[in-house]
Structure 1
């Protein structure tokens, strides 16, 4: 399956469903990343997860035997904070989210506040309360700009699916009456941030992931080549359905990570 062939100068790699499931490493993930380091092909781990800091994400990967450094991680929290800082440096931000999001806000020179914010920034929040919902909705009605880290409605966990940031976002949008600025995949905001971090152009960069609606649509919208891996959400049985739903196709499909490694070996100098 081929739509276009572009130079492979770097990779933006999804995490959950691509390199691991929950806390379990997918077969070949460790050797894939080791191979990329061996051939010196630049890459970034790109995640819609806003709850963890880049250091925490890298630590999780290391515990699974996947070599990673914080500077190789691009999160929706980082991209969201940078985007707000570009819109209004030093803005006051009311955060509905976890430590990774709060830390990203502070590192971008923004001000965490509980009163009269310029922005309501929302990600996943596993301690979310009705009181927090009420505050966020009132601030949105009062004129605060609503920013959503990522649209994921459901997330995999070791015990099964759990509601994602998009589920909370749906409540805020319904009650607040405003659509949010969307940061994470498939938005171009996270893509632009990731490309700046890796130092490449879209037509030099390939996106790797298991989700047609986020990872592959993310890459296709930006003009990147894309590799769908059948290691997570998408498999051989549901692939056609998800492609139809996403309205796009990957540049190529790899059934497992060893096949991906071979594909990279054959195509990295196109």
Structure 2
């Protein structure tokens, strides 16, 4: 078992299940903090700002961290758009995504934006889909925050951002440019922002198709914990295996 110098840790399904705590999570984070091992949360959830994520962790899961320890697909998407020198966007998404993008000075545009960005939106409407579809048909570039079809919470596996994005893909007959896990971009963004070394960092997560494939795509070691989406039976079928597999964060020795 390798001892890593830093960890990128998933949230949904790894640290909590919606409003429900995952028992080992809080003690694992406390161990990292006690041993002064750097860590950050690498989430695929674009709905909340880092400040809102921090507040949720503190109030509901007994975990106290700083906003700079939260890496979201919203921030990574905003950075990607910034690198493209975009001037305007139309966004389907919630506060976390809209704040990250529009705080960059990007203008709101429904007609001919440089980019249409689609993320999880629990109040999505036909009108929003219509605006996004027409803009993409007119030539706007199409970004999806992440491809998660489902999101684990206390009720089970509910629709994720990928389910919303797929409707726009179907309507436009165009594949989105994805930013979040499992894409390499968000992992590279996190390492650069945090000034961490790739070879001494591990990604911890519960979903093979997002967390583990992100590590594989970015050449970062992975630790799959069976507390969320993926099952041992599913993972056994894949040619590329996680670096490590555990049933609980209690099993991981720092």
- Measured against the shorter chain, the TM-score band is over 0.9
1:107-256 equivalences under 5 Å are 107-234=103-230, 238-245=231-238, 247-256=239-248
Q: CA RMSD in A?
A: 1.5
Quote the Cα distance in structure 2 between the aligned partners of 1:25 and 1:163: 20
Quote the Cα distance in structure 1 between the aligned partners of 2:209 and 2:26: 25
1:197 CA displacement: 2.1
Q: Is 1:81 the equivalent of 2:87?
A: no
Quote the Cα distance in structure 2 between the aligned partners of 1:79 and 1:61: 21
Quote the Cα distance in structure 2 between the aligned partners of 1:130 and 1:106: 23
Which deviates more, 153-162 or 67-76? Answer: 153-162
Quote the Cα distance in structure 1 between the aligned partners of 2:137 and 2:73: 24
Give CA deviations for 1:207-236 in whole Å, capped at 9, x if unaligned. 1011111111111111111111112223xx
Structure 1 gaps of 5+ residues are 265-270
Quote the Cα distance in structure 2 between the aligned partners of 1:113 and 1:159: 36
Q: Is 1:258 the equivalent of 2:254?
A: no
Structure 2 gaps of 5+ residues are none
Indicate which of 92, 95, 98 corresponds to 1:99.
95
Which deviates more, 145-154 or 104-113? Answer: 104-113
1:213·1:242 contact (CA, 8 Å) conserved in 2?
Answer: no
Task: Give the TM-score of the pair, scaled to structure 1.
Answer: 0.89
1:43·1:198 contact (CA, 8 Å) conserved in 2?
Answer: no
1:239 CA displacement: 1.2
Aligned residues: 253
Quote the Cα distance in structure 2 between the aligned partners of 1:243 and 1:187: 22
Equivalent in the alignment of 2:14 = 18
Quote the Cα distance in structure 1 between the aligned partners of 2:104 and 2:223: 32
Q: Secondary structure at the match of 1:94?
A: strand
